[in-house]
């Protein structure tokens, strides 16, 4: 919770700890992106300061959904990234999704960062690293649109719940050939319309109403940082994630027979 268990000084220490881990593995460059929460610009700035203190060079992609930050890691060949985001949590939360050397840090790896800070095992470079801005939105959309085009015109309602996906969703869906009806796509860190968590059916009611009103083919909803997906059918039925996974698995297996799901 920002102001209670997380502040800019902690964010800076976390940045320095991540940078120290990178230094040990001889990794220099890292991508940083952030969601649309009110605290995210300050948290990202503090994190970047800590990363630079440890001698890392930061590519700051600014406002970006978490999947775009991950894409940036691959596209810009850094292998490392941090997405500054509170994900699907309430507006006063924030946090960090961390990838180092292609591996998402979780569980013990996160505890190790904490231990590193607590024991002051932090790298401090003689010369701080650089920070440079980079806009990869066009690259991301081009990468997907170059690979995916829908067979027939679909009318899609997309509810971004005022989260950061609102910056991308309409443009991306139009690029693959959809006709888009945007809903709550203005990024607003106070989430004024409903909580940005599509796994709660209550948060999909606005989407269902609009899908039925405009006679759309499908409704899509994203969480605060754009890595959770809610899907609503033409008739207003919610397709739960386990059933979505079956669809995705069938698609993967069609192209990669015998693959492990």
What are the catalytic residues? 87
Is the sign of the CA dihedral 196, 198, 202, 206 positive or negative?
positive
CB atoms within 10 A of CB 236: 14
Structure tokens of 227? Answer: 């890595």
Q: Where are the beta strands (DSSP E) in the chain?
A: 29-34, 57-63, 81-84, 96-100, 103-104, 131-133, 155-159, 179-183, 218-222, 229-233, 238-239
Backbone angles phi, psi at 188, to 5 degrees: -145, 110
Distances (CA, A) of 165 to 6, 12, 65, 197: 24, 26, 6, 12
Whole-number Å distance between alpha carbons of 28 and 233: 45
The secondary structure element, H or E, covering residue 138 is helix 137-145
User: How far does CA 122 lie from the centroid of its chain?
Assistant: 27
Backbone angles phi, psi at 58, to 5 degrees: -105, 135
Under DSSP, the state recorded for 36 is: S
């Amino acid at each position: 919770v920002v102001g209670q268990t997380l502040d800019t000084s902690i964010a800076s220490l976390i940045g320095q700890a991540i940078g120290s881990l990178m230094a040990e593995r001889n990794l220099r460059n890292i991508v940083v992106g952030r969601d649309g929460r009110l605290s995210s610009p300050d948290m990202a700035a503090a994190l970047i300061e800590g990363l630079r203190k440890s001698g890392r060079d930061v590519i700051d992609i600014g406002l970006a959904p978490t999947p775009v930050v991950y894409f940036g890691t691959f596209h810009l060949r850094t292998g490392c990234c941090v997405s500054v985001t509170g994900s699907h949590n309430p507006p006063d939360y924030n946090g960090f999704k961390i990838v180092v050397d292609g591996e998402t840090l979780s569980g013990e790896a996160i505890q190790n960062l904490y231990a590193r800070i607590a024991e002051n095992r932090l790298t401090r470079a003689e010369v701080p690293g650089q920070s440079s801005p980079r806009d990869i939105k066009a690259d991301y959309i081009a990468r997907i649109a170059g690979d995916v085009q829908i067979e027939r015109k679909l009318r899609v309602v997309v509810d971004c719940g005022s989260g950061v996906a609102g910056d991308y969703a309409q443009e991306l869906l139009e690029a693959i050939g959809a006709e888009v009806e945007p809903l709550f796509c203005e990024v607003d860190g106070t989430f004024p319309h409903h909580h940005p968590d599509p796994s709660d059916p209550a948060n999909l009611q606005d989407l269902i109403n609009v899908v039925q009103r405009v006679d759309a083919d499908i409704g899509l909803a994203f969480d605060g940082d754009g890595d959770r997906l809610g899907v609503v059918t033409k008739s207003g039925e919610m397709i739960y994630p386990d059933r979505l996974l079956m669809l995705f698995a069938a698609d993967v297996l069609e192209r990669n027979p015998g693959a492990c799901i």
